[in-house]
Amino acid sequence: MYLKSLSLYNFKNFEEANIALAPGIVCFTGLNGEGKTNLLDAIHYLSFCKSFLVSSDVLNIRFNESYFAVQGTFIAHDKEDVIYCAVKYGERKVFKKNQKEYSKLADHIGNYPLVIISPLDSNLITDGSDERRRFLDSIISQYNREYLEKLIQYNKVLAQRNALLKQFAENGNFNYSVLEIWDVQLGPLGDYIFNERKDFLEKFIPVFYRYFDIISNKKEEVKIHYISQLNQELKMEDLLSSAINKDRSAQYTSVGIHKDDLDFLIKNFALKKHASQGQQKSFLIALKLAQFEFLKQKKGEAPLLLLDDIFDKLDDTRIARLIDLVSKENFGQVFITDTQKERIEHILHTAHSEALIYSISGGKILKE
Amino acid sequence: MNLPSKLVEAAVEQFASLPGIGKRTALRLVLHLLKQSKENVNAFSTTFIEMRNNIKYCKSCYNISDNDICEICSDHKRDHSIICVVEDVRDVMAIENTMQYRGVYHVLGGIISPMNGIGPNELNIESLITKAASGKVNEMIFALSATMEGDTTNFYIFKRIKDYNIKTSVIARGVAVGDDLEYTDEITLGRSILNRVPYENSFVR
Ligand SMILES: [Zn+2]
């Protein structure tokens, strides 16, 4: 699968742009603020129906215009599919495949898989555990619908249970038989989610190690541990009943898979505090490449890979190893942005990689 | 909206407080009433006052009723050993319209949802348990909405009545998942009452 062409109308700083693309590596070079990341965001729209940078669609409409449209032609299974997305002020987002509008966006998401590596990934290291759980959940949900449904269910039951604990505290009463009706539902849901996460990570973590070794040339020892209050012996329902007094005074559910986390370690110390920026960046790239590899296996084809500004803070040998890796055949179509045209040209030359290079300046796209 | 009369404005406010009615529609309704004769408008408003002041809730099943005991509960031809448990009176009407059900009802007045401040004590559950304990009930059919909160309410009641040796079932949801009873068409609903499944098979545990 690859994107054959991309057209933009009033999208962010682009008034109108049409570019031809090709399988393999595609580079967008240009200074910061010229719009190269916006091109990646347009591609992100075609895959996920939304931006990876801003939460509101209308913020992507060019200044003083009333709408934007993004259109891309994918080649998938020897067939051409035209995907069109338009956003207009005060109107519903329009999303079409081959002129036909989708009734649910969920029917589109996942059909043209995409993995993006961007500076925003550092949230996975610096932010709270919910970022890391979201990372886990988003990968598992992409190939396991049942997981997604049970996760949604779990969160609904959890919200009700928390509301009930709050009411008990406010009214100064407690009734176990009323609490129990939520616990018996959380139990099997929590156990299922724990087991799926555990199974997934058992397969995922070795793939991550392999990629980290390639990028860092096996110079550093990193680890990922799955942290959960649950384990093979300790089931969700047992946890809930053992924490009942704590939950009553805390007025929320203090135990369960909503407390799960991933421990990121370098030489057995916390990555967040003990790794250099380059090491952290290598770690994040390896995580995302492992996600890519995993989705590729599950979907049977390579997702699009978007590398946004990843060369910053990464030394030249790591960059070279990364480009060497992604220019190999099994990575499919790879989009790369960089501020320095000479640097990317040199790296590609050294890796003997052919690439399509566009330079972006003032909302215009020029082919090199 | 700038209105020339405080009286009209107050009337518009009242209509606009109804669900699904905006200011513009409210004004249209008020202007319509202004064109009617005083007698007509008096009759119109008295109807609501009468309705609100004199309506009763059946002492047995909590359905709306003109008497202490509703028409369904006082009908001796109906099977009083079968109780269909529903969320509100609209569900009673929907099931009655199918003409497939000959038992009686019990209106809970909602479903358990702590987030909306509704626990078992806010619902007509205790009186249902009392009926179950009386030994006069052979079967209970749960016809609550197919949501997590509906399932939870089913489960809570089931747990409370499980020692009374009552046959329990839920309305088959295969055809109407996610729809409230109110929106399910009559044929579908009638069929699901005939094809109700034993409760134990329908719950996750
Ligand atoms: Zn009655």
Check A184 against B155: CB less than 8 A apart: yes
* pLDDT for position B189: 67
Q: Which of B117, B120, B204 sits opposite A178 (nearest CB)?
A: B120
* pLDDT for position B181: 55
Q: What is the CATH number of the domain that holds A259?
A: 1.20.1050.90
Residues of chain A above pLDDT 90, percent? 72
What's the whole-number mean pLDDT along residues A211-226? 91
Rounded to a whole number, what is the distance in angstroms from the first to the last CA of chain A?
A: 24
Q: Which residue has the tokens 């996760």?
A: A151
Interface test with A, best of B116, B121, B123, B148 (most A CBs within 10 A): B148
What's the whole-number mean pLDDT along residues A52-74? 94
In the listed set A300, A329, A359, which residue is the last one of a domain according to the structure? A300
B58: CA distance to ligand 1 center in Å? 5
ipTM > 0.90 for the complex: no
Distance from CA of A248 to the nearest CA of B (A): 15
Check A185 against B119: CB less than 8 A apart: no
Check B148 against A184: CB less than 8 A apart: no
Q: What is the CATH number of the domain that holds A26?
A: 3.40.50.300
Structural domain harbouring A31? 1-113+303-368
User: What are A285-326's pLDDT values in tens digits?
Assistant: 999 999 999 999 988 889 999 999 888 778 888 888 888 888
Range in A173-187, A193-207, B162-176 with the lowest mean pLDDT: B162-176
Report how far residue B141's alpha carbon sits from residue B155's, in angstroms, rounded to the nearest whole number.
13
Identity at A340, one-letter amino acid code = Q
* pLDDT for position A100: 94
Report how far residue A232's alpha carbon sits from residue A187's, in angstroms, rounded to the nearest whole number.
14
Report how far residue B95's alpha carbon sits from residue B101's, in angstroms, rounded to the nearest whole number.
7
Report how far residue A294's alpha carbon sits from residue A335's, in angstroms, rounded to the nearest whole number.
19
pTM for this entry: 0.80
User: What are A114-165's pLDDT values in tens digits?
Assistant: 999 999 999 999 999 999 999 999 899 888 889 988 999 999 999 999 999 9
Q: Tally A–B CB contacts below 8 A.
A: 38
Q: Which of A166, A178, A188 sits opposite B204 (nearest CB)?
A: A188
Does residue A80 have a pLDDT over 80?
yes
Check B120 against A182: CB less than 8 A apart: no
| Inside any domain, residue A51 | yes
| Inside any domain, residue A118 | no
Give me the number of domains chain A comprises: 2
* pLDDT for position A99: 94
Is A246's Cβ below 8 Å from some Cβ in B?
no
B62: CA distance to ligand 1 center in Å? 6
Do A53 and A17 belong together in one domain?
Answer: yes
Which residue ranges of chain B lie beneath pLDDT 50? 173-179, 201-205
Does residue A27 have a pLDDT over 50?
yes
* pLDDT for position A82: 96
* pLDDT for position B120: 93
Do A42 and A72 belong together in one domain?
Answer: yes
A178: CA distance to ligand 1 center in Å? 27
Q: Which residue has the higher pLDDT, A347 or B133?
A: B133
**In three state form, how does the secondary structure of chain A look?**
CEEEEEEEEEECCEEEEEEECCCCEEEEECCCCCCHHHHHHHHHHHHHCCCCCCCCHHHHECCCCCEEEEEEEEEECCEEEEEEEEEECCCCCEEEECCEECCCHHHCCCCCCEEEECHHHHHHHHCCHHHHHHHHHHHHHHHCHHHHHHHHHHHHHHHHHHHHHHHHHHHCCCCHHHHHHHHHHHHHHHHHHHHHHHHHHHHHHHHHHHHHHHHHCCCCCEEEEEECCCCCCCCHHHHHHHCHHHHHHHCCCCCCHHHCEEEEEECCEEHHHHCCHHHHHHHHHHHHHHHHHHHHHHHCCCCEEEECCCCCCCCHHHHHHHHHHHCCHHHCCEEEEECCHHHHHHHHHHCCCCEEEEEEECCEEEEC
In the listed set A270, A300, A330, which residue is the last one of a domain according to the structure? A300
What's the whole-number mean pLDDT along residues A329-341? 89
* pLDDT for position A312: 79
Q: Which residue has the higher pLDDT, B171 or A39?
A: A39
What's the whole-number mean pLDDT along residues A184-201? 96
Closest by CA to A209, choosing from A293, A129, A153, A272, is A293
Q: Which of A157, A163, A164 sits opposite B148 (nearest CB)?
A: A157
| Contact indicator for B107, B61 with CB cutoff of 8 Å | yes
Q: Which residues of B are less than 8 Å from A157 in CB distance?
A: 148
* pLDDT for position B52: 92
Closest by CA to B57, choosing from B114, B127, B116, is B127
In the listed set A277, A300, A323, which residue is the last one of a domain according to the structure? A300
Does residue A85 have a pLDDT over 60?
yes
Whole-number mean pLDDT of chain A? 92
* pLDDT for position A313: 78
How many C-beta atoms surround the C-beta of residue A231 within 10 A? 10
Check A185 against B152: CB less than 8 A apart: yes
Q: Which of A153, A161, A181 sits opposite B155 (nearest CB)?
A: A181
Range in A80-89, A219-228, A327-336 with the lowest mean pLDDT: A327-336
| Inside any domain, residue A199 | yes
Do A286 and A150 belong together in one domain?
Answer: yes
The full set of domains in chain B, from first to last, is 6-54 (1.10.8.420), 75-202 (3.40.1360.10)
